[in-house]
Amino acid sequence: MTTTDTPALPPAARGAAAPTGTAPAGTAPEGTGPSAPAALPAAATGAVVLDAVVPARAPWSAVVRRGQLLTIIDLGGNQAVDFLAFDAHDTSLRYSAPDTIQAQGSVFLTTGSVLRDCEHAPMMTLVADDCGRHDTLGGACSKESNTLRYGHHTAGQHACVENFLAEGGRHGLGKRDLVSNINWYMNVPVDPDGALGIVDGISAPGLSLTLRAEKDVLVVVSNCPQVNNPCNGFDPTPVRMVVTDPSEG
């Protein structure tokens, strides 16, 4: 079942529509990469609202209603999932990395972390996490930052900002709506001298995390296409996105 009954939303935001298609509940999505398990993690309780495989390098978006759960499964292991969240009814209220890490007293996200918006209000809560910690500092790769980090020869490569601009545009979001995002499954330590870097991941195939929406949230994702650093193990792979509704089923 999809939830398409909120007239306050802009047309493009209705229906949790995923451009990559959805699979019927309880069946294995037909991904092109590593095989996707049909079984859902224990934390993904309730009726399946949406079950999609986001291909490697692709964008994705959906509205997750208040109380619903979004489970993100790292099918191939060590796949960075760049993630932004907006209030589905007022997109000027959006995920804020500084507010989130101020309130929880840590730069890393794990079970219990509350994602806060730019006015400090809770948007989503991380209710389960197999991985242990996720990044709030590194932001999204872009063609422009890739040229600074790796050289001007990388300007033609795909990047997360391309995905965010394209997918956000479907919901009326533009460049000014893009801010520091979450990188699920990405490992970014801060050394005692302040050195920060994207290093080899600590995730593994099949690990998952589950977020509970505290309000109706538009989630915009880039399944990171980066190949110049270890954030995707130098091999971008598909991820599985499942929305469940504990109040049903």
Partner 1 sequence: MTASSTSTTAGAREHARAQEGAAAGTVRTRPVVPASAWPTPPDGVSPEDLVHAETVAGGGYTHLAVARGTHVRLTDLDGDACAHVLAFHAEQPWERLNVADTVKVQWQVYLTTGHLLLSDQGRALASVVADTSGHHDTLFGTTTRARNEARYGDGAAHGPSPAGRELFALAGAKHDLTRRDLPPSISFFQGVRVDDDGAPQHRGSAGAGAAVTLVAELPLILLVANTAHPLDPRERFTCTPLEVLAWRGDPTAPSDPRWDATPEGRRALDRTAAHVAARTARPTAGATR
Contact residues for partner 1, defined by CB under 8 A? 92, 96-99, 101-103, 105-108, 118-121, 133, 137-140, 142-145, 147-149, 151-152, 161, 175-181, 189-190, 192-198
CB of 171 to partner 1, least distance (A): 14
CB of 97 to partner 1, least distance (A): 6
User: And the tokens for 154?
Assistant: 């990388």
CB of 229 to partner 1, least distance (A): 10
Q: Which is nearer to partner 1, 122 or 205 (CB)?
A: 122
Distance CA 90, CA 222 (A): 21
Q: Which is nearer to partner 1, 196 or 204 (CB)?
A: 196
Q: Which is nearer to partner 1, 6 or 108 (CB)?
A: 108
Q: Which is nearer to partner 1, 39 or 152 (CB)?
A: 152
CB of 180 to partner 1, least distance (A): 4
Q: Which is nearer to partner 1, 43 or 178 (CB)?
A: 178
Q: Are 230 and 198 in contact (CB under 8 A)?
A: yes
CB of 194 to partner 1, least distance (A): 3
Distance CA 21, CA 137 (A): 31
